[in-house]
Amino acid sequence: MSNKTPPNLRYTKDHEWILVDGSTGTIGITDHAQDALGDIVFVDAPKTGTPVQAGKVFGTVESVKAVSDLFSPASGEVTEVNDTLKDSPESVNEDPYGKGWLIKIKLSDKSEVDALMTADQYSAYAAQEHS
């Protein structure tokens, strides 16, 4: 499982990830989450300019099984939305850490990211959830 958990990201207990680059955070759902959800058919993400808050819902992802809330790993303002997901939401299944990213935010407090799980911590957490 560790090869499916990139070490350069931080993770939440709700199975979202964030990649920090300067003051920008790119957010998506983990491979574990997309696997548990099954085939993703729709992603509802906020519009550019929308404020998001760490630990709060910022959108939903709909699969053939269920609709799941998306929780922001950090606070900030949405600067970009992955519009390609409108036509190809399956990108989240196929490439959750690449083409399947959901939103980018301008971080308001980078220290929030430090409180998130590392790849090793998340791998252990996700494995525990399975047992």
**CATH of residue 80:** 2.40.50.100
In a domain, 41, yes or no: yes
Residue 49 binned pLDDT confidence (cut-offs 50, 70, 90): very high
In a domain, 61, yes or no: yes
Q: Which amino acid is it at 91?
A: S
pLDDT per residue as tens digits for the range 10-24: 999 999 999 999 999
In a domain, 130, yes or no: no
Number of folded domains in the chain?
1
In a domain, 127, yes or no: no
Instruction: Write the DSSP string, 49-96.
Output: T-EE-TTSEEEEEEESS-EEEEE-SS-EEEEEE-THHHH-TTHHHH-T
In a domain, 91, yes or no: yes
Confidence (pLDDT) at 2: 39
What's the gap between Cα 97 and its chain centre?
A: 9
Residue 3 binned pLDDT confidence (cut-offs 50, 70, 90): low
In a domain, 87, yes or no: yes
In a domain, 126, yes or no: no
Sign of CA dihedral 33, 29, 13, 118: positive
In a domain, 37, yes or no: yes
**Which strand ranges, in their side-by-side order, compose the sheet holding 24-29?**
10-11, 16-21, 24-29, 103-107, 76-81, 51-52
Domain that holds residue 90: 2-115
